Chains A and B, each alone.
Chain A
Amino acid sequence: MINKSLKELAAMLASKDISSVELTQEYLNRIDRHNPEINAYISLDQEKTLAQAAAADQMLAQGTASALTGIPIAQKDIFCAKGWQTTCGSKMLENFIAPYDAGIIERFNAVGSVNLGKTNMDEFAMGSSNETSYYGKVQNPWDRRRVPGGSSGGSAAAVAARLCAAATGTDTGGSIRQPASLCGLSGLKPTYGLASRYGMIAFASSLDQAGPMAKSCEDMALMMNVMTGFDERDSTSLNREKEDYTRDLGKPLAGLRVGLPKEYFAEGLEAGVAKVVEAAIDEYRKLGAEIVDISLPNTMLSIPVYYVLAPAEASSNLSRYDGVRFGHRAAEYDDLMDMYCKSRAEGFGAEVKRRILIGTYVLSAGYYDAYYLKAQQIRRLIAQDFERAFEQCDIILGPTAPSTAFKAGEKADDPVAMYLQDIYTIAVNLAGLPGMSIPAGFAPADDGKELPVGLQVIGNYFDEARMLNAGHAYQQVTDWHTRMPEGIA
């Protein structure tokens, strides 16, 4: 049951082999059993969840069901869901009960999907290990001493440990793809502007994008059909024709031009990861793809550019947490200024504060041109790298992350080392392109433990259907995506 695809689950629900209430209860039981250790969920509300499942059963009985009706989905705790505690991984929002639904949540509700619970994440999505969450670390189901990646670490662990049928994530610099890589699942960040940001707690608005995290590309295509679409309440939402992301699944890959950026295979990439990625590329050769060498010369600059733009936008977005209308307020203070300063000092964790300070600094008087403007200019150079690359190829393949899952605490005290986790993913956000990670095998860690490795697929703007087919074709000839960690029975 727990390894069934969304399509198989939908068929079982349609044929009444199982009801949504039964399926949901099965996942809630699994969560009861494993979440105390794995800590993938921050908040659960069985009553609300089961009421949604019962309503889904009604839809199934009435014949108004669609692909995801009655399917239990884990929602990253960055999405406001009406009546649910919505913390964004922060103490600041510990008491925040969302008064409305995010656009993404509305879409899942409209098709009768079941919200299983809100998943753990790095505080305000700032982190690559889930260690910055106020609600505790998340264990990587493949090795409980290791991190699941971040910031969508709870969603990744929930999918990997089969504590949900599928999950949502958000990706500002790699927050869907890197945890998908470290936990051995499939994760997709769509083209910027396809998924609504309404009610998705803002980190860096020009980069944030929601996407699916699931067991396969086929599952992600079904999730994409629900998650994407124009939302007038999101000022950067793109008004485009609705697409069916399953439309290309099953098309042959013969003649597909696959670009390999030389910068993604250079120094910094672990040998074990490189070997797995190269084996995956060989599979694409066998599937008839044509391999092309390409160059993305400004790759290394994506990290400094990101660590100007993202903190600058974050410092501005997070100024709303003032302890007045919602969120944490300090118990004692002298005056209004003191109330702001203390509430924010108490409500935010160390990494969030660091990024707010960096952002405040680069935006402060006299520094705008040297930092923010400069970063936006280099951002264009990075986007132009991809533009040139896509003249030579249809998709780009490479590693998602430079290493497999690292041990908890290993990089927690060194922000710069942590930031380098996102060296292959950040440029994709800066350019606004779609990118995904799919399981491609295992590499041994320094202690001999075999850990999942993700293959990154980068596509041109709005080319998600082709990317999903490229992943799907690979998942038809390999079984990495069906592997499950031990100890999750």
Chain B
Amino acid sequence: MSLSTTDVKRIAHLARIAVSEAEAEQTLQKLSGILGLIEQMQAVDTTGIAPMSHSQDVTQRLREDVVTESNQRELLQSIAPAVENGLYLVPKVIE
């Protein structure tokens, strides 16, 4: 499993992170080191072992389908980068 700078750029695009050519080159070295570390897992036989996501045997809790949040639009939008008339502004996506 060896990565190329093309792979790095593809992954960065999936992650929505802009990378320059020079950054992709640097990142490639560091990522390869980490992936080498991760590769140690492949030597372990895990046939029939159930994956573990939580240490306790718990299930997703459900709650009543009722409104629990109050309207805090002004407070929540006060920390937004760009708002207008109570809406979040983003570059135009539909012509």
Contact = CB atoms under 8 A, between A and B. Distances in A.
Interface of A: 95-97, 99, 191-193, 206, 232, 235-236, 238, 300-301, 303-305, 307-308, 315, 319, 322-329, 333-342, 344-345, 348, 353-354, 356-358, 360-362, 364, 370-371, 373-381, 383, 414-416, 419, 431-433, 461
A353 B37 CA distance: 18
A279 B61 CA distance: 46
Contacts of B38: 304, 307-308, 358, 362, 371
B55 A324 contact: no
B91 A336 contact: yes
Contacts of A344: 15-18
Interface of B: 8, 11-19, 27, 30-31, 33-42, 44, 46, 49-56, 58, 60-61, 63, 72, 75-76, 78-82, 88, 90-93
B15 A360 contact: yes
A192 B63 CA distance: 22
Contacts of B40: 300-301, 304
Given A206-B53, A304-B38, 20 more contacts: A99-B78, A192-B56, A206-B54, A236-B58, A307-B37, A308-B38, A308-B41, A325-B88, A335-B91, A338-B18, A353-B27, A374-B46, A376-B51, A377-B49, A377-B50, A377-B51, A378-B46, A432-B54, A432-B55, A461-B56
Nearest to A329: B81
Contacts of A354: 27, 30-31, 34
8 residue pairs, one from A and one from B, having the closest CB atoms: A432-B55, A376-B51, A329-B81, A377-B46, A345-B18, A341-B18, A380-B52, A360-B15
B52 A304 contact: no
A432 B52 CA distance: 11
Contacts, number: 165
Contacts of B56: 192-193, 238, 432, 461
Contacts of B41: 301, 304-305, 308, 371, 374-375, 378
B27 A357 contact: yes
Contacts of B36: 416
B65 to A, nearest CB: 15
B76 A376 contact: no
A460 B44 CA distance: 26
Contacts of A370: 42
Given A96-B79, A325-B80, A377-B50, A341 B55 contact: no
A323 B39 contact: no
B76 A99 contact: yes
B15 to A, nearest CB: 4
Query: B11, B15, B41, B61: which has the most chain A beta carbons within 10 Å?
Result: B15
A26 to B, nearest CB: 33
Interface of A (DSSP majority class): helix
Nearest to B76: A99
Nearest to B93: A336
27 contacts: A96-B79, A97-B79, A99-B72, A99-B78, A206-B53, A236-B58, A301-B40, A301-B41, A303-B37, A304-B39, A307-B37, A308-B41, A326-B81, A329-B81, A335-B93, A338-B91, A345-B19, A358-B35, A371-B41, A373-B51, A374-B42, A374-B46, A381-B46, A416-B33, A416-B36, A419-B37, A433-B55
A419 B14 CA distance: 25
A168 to B, nearest CB: 22
A361 B79 CA distance: 31
Contacts of B50: 377, 380
A151 B66 CA distance: 38
A344 B93 CA distance: 19
A324 B88 contact: yes
A206 B8 CA distance: 27
Given A341-B18, A364-B11, A383-B55, A358 B80 contact: no
